[in-house]
Amino acid sequence: MQLAQDARERALTNPESFWAEQADQIVWHKKPTEILKENSDGTHQWYADGELNSCYLSLDRHIEEGKGDRLALIYDSPVTDTKKTYTYTELRDAVALFAGALKAQGVGKGDGVIIYMPMVPEAGIAMLACARLGAVHSVVFGGFAPHELAVRIDDSRSKVVLTASCGIEFTKVIEYKPLVDAAIEEATHKPEKVILLQRPQAQASMQEGRDLDWHEVQQGVEPAACVPLAATDPLYIMYTSGTTGKPKGVLRENGGHAVALNYALRNVYNMQDGDVWWGISDIGWVVGHSFIIYGPLMGGCTTVFYEGKPVRTPDAGAFWRVIQEYQVNGIFCAPTAFRAIRKEDPEGELFRQYDVSSLKHIFVAGEKLDSPTYHWLHELSNKPVFDHWWQTETGWPVTAPLTGLGETAIQVGSTNKSVPGYDVQVLRPDGSQAEADEMGSIAIKLPLPPGVAQTLWGDHERYLKSYLSTFPGYYHTGDGGYIDAEGFVYIMGRTDDVINVSGHRLSTGEMEEVVATHSAVAECAVIGVSDELKGQLPVGLILLKDGADISHEALEKELVALVREKIGALACFQRALVVKRLPKTRSGKILRAILRKIAEGEEYATPSTIDDVSILPEISDALTEAGITKKG
């Protein structure tokens, strides 16, 4: 494991030469001479004078190297009973043509494009077409409600919305067009055009003058060429939850991203040119960007693009079927999917119907990997199971084993050691470094390696405040945990009001804002409590307005519907409990951390700042009675 350790050391002692070497692994239109530059506010620029194109690196490059006939993308959709493959040449042709269509609609470098689409290959084609032109895509997960889409349309000020007539959840057809129409209606910024893919499962109605058909827009247009872009030009915006209602528009630059993904694909995931890789996620999340589309394609792999679920499409053997069918060499998935499979196939009867010998290993991330799930998966599959940790902001792994450099040791419960380029440290509240095994805030010493977001779209001040101000000289991850004496990192969870439901990052603050709009609600707190299947679930604690005339059951129902309508079903907001009082500090702040501990049935120290300590047993009784705090 000397190679891995050497790489870690080299990247930290001389980041410029380390990342100059890595930059040589990709193809540049203009090779950078400036590798790392520090800005006056503490942020950094990587490869500032380099020029490249992320779509060229994903597609054209391989064709020029004679690999045009290799499979680039395999679409497998159990929900529509469809399978389709694209070679690199076929995918490049589809992307170039769609880019030509976007160009004909006036989309060019720097223009914003919202992609609100299900897992159909056209969604990936759309992302790559934007990258080809230098347009900035912003993919919004199909599970988000119109309001969330409207917020993203307004913030990104996108020129065009790309969508499809429907998505499919198990067997349920969810029409997207009414959601898009409602979002545009709500948004203050009005996109000029909506380009819609009609799927056979639903026919969307079109608005004259604004809406265009996906296939018609491509008729008679010239395929577009790759536009050379500055390394620091934006590739995409990916919105993620912060601690307030307004999502953060994480901005990804072209240059550092390409170098980092290439590095991670080879060194972390050990995927070689020609391997088959399956990022089991959705293009609506960062994993979908880095490891369904850009990473595997830049690395010359075949990427599996799956429109289905771990279970019930048609059964809990679905993952193993796909691995066998396409001879998949590596997968990456959130633990929640394996918890769902385990629940339905605990003894692995379905697993044993398939041959998964092509698989080198299983990577998981996105939320805590609980040890029962780890042991079950490891014993069942007889494959190494690697937990690793990263965030939307970083865009690629922060801690992970370097399997490409032969590193395979793990510690159950740990997300492994820092990846070269990341100086991960645990800090105490005063900013001093914690000892080995001492819990604290996980922070990354600056400079951040290439690929990590250096700003938020249109709000650089918020970037500085959210990430760089808590511990000067460090990036604040928002996660708490510790590092052991050997350098293994243990992530214990968020230190802020962000929760993780089925691997989806959600803001409790945002849910509180929605709940508070109900006419009967005087005040509320939304907290995350552990859930066996989904990791965490949100629970609302509600103070009623005086004289509110509504039963608690009816209120809960209405609040559940409200959060579903405003944020989406993915929030899994199912419980809202009326309480008499909420614990507060003397200055009036709700003590959410205490509420979380009570709900989890954990020991807690009564904070000295509490206004009225008698509230705590009252809350505890209410949570136990409602079955939220588990007894015993």
**β-pairing verdict for 535-544 and 521-531:** antiparallel
336: contact with ligand AMP by CB under 6 A: no
Interface with ligand AMP in residues 505-564 (CB under 6 A) = 505
**Spatial contact of 67 and 300, defined as CB atoms under 8 Å apart:** yes
Q: Of the candidates 384, 404, 441, 396, which has an alpha carbon nearest to the alpha carbon of residue 422?
A: 396
Interface with ligand AMP in residues 479-508 (CB under 6 A) = 479, 491, 494, 500, 505
How many angstroms separate the Cα of 197 from the Cα of each of 123, 161, 184?
Answer: 10, 11, 17
Judge residue 499's burial from the number of C-beta atoms within 10 Å of its C-beta, 0-12 exposed, 13-18 middle, 19 or more buried: buried
Q: How far is the CB of 287 from ligand AMP (least distance, A)?
A: 7
Phi-psi map region of 376: left, alpha, beta (phi>0 left; psi -120 to 50 alpha) = alpha
The window from 184-192, 292-300, 346-354, 473-481 that contacts ligand AMP (CB under 6 A) reads 473-481
Looking at the DSSP assignment, which residues form a beta bridge with residue 491? 481
Q: In this structure, is the dihedral angle defined by the CA atoms of residues 597, 603, 605 and 611, taken in order, positive or negative?
A: positive
Tokens encoding 65: 């190297």
Q: How far is the CB of 565 from ligand AMP (least distance, A)?
A: 22
The window from 35-43, 363-371, 451-459, 596-604 that contacts ligand AMP (CB under 6 A) reads 363-371
Look up tokens 């915006």; give the residue: 237
266: contact with ligand AMP by CB under 6 A: no
400: contact with ligand AMP by CB under 6 A: no
CB nearer ligand AMP, residue 392 or residue 454: 392
415: contact with ligand AMP by CB under 6 A: yes
CB nearer ligand AMP, residue 299 or residue 535: 535
478: contact with ligand AMP by CB under 6 A: yes
Please state the three-class secondary structure of 556-609 as a single string: HHHHHHHHHHHCCHHHCCCEEEECCCCCEECCCCECHHHHHHHHHCCCCCCCCC
Q: Of the candidates 371, 383, 358, which has an alpha carbon nearest to the alpha carbon of residue 412?
A: 371
Q: How far is the CB of 41 from ligand AMP (least distance, A)?
A: 23
Looking at the DSSP assignment, which residues form a beta bridge with residue 529? 537
Q: How far is the CB of 489 from ligand AMP (least distance, A)?
A: 9
Q: How far is the CB of 267 from ligand AMP (least distance, A)?
A: 18
Q: How far is the CB of 610 from ligand AMP (least distance, A)?
A: 27
Q: How far is the CB of 399 from ligand AMP (least distance, A)?
A: 8
410: contact with ligand AMP by CB under 6 A: no
CB nearer ligand AMP, residue 99 or residue 333: 333
The window from 216-224, 295-303, 386-394, 608-616 that contacts ligand AMP (CB under 6 A) reads 386-394
CA distance 337 to 91: 29
CB nearer ligand AMP, residue 389 or residue 488: 389
Residue 93 CB contacts under 8 Å (≥ 6 apart), including other chains: 223
54: contact with ligand AMP by CB under 6 A: no
Question: Which parts of this chain interact with ligand AMP (CB under 6 A)?
Answer: 240, 286, 365-368, 387-389, 391-392, 415, 477-479, 491, 494, 500, 505
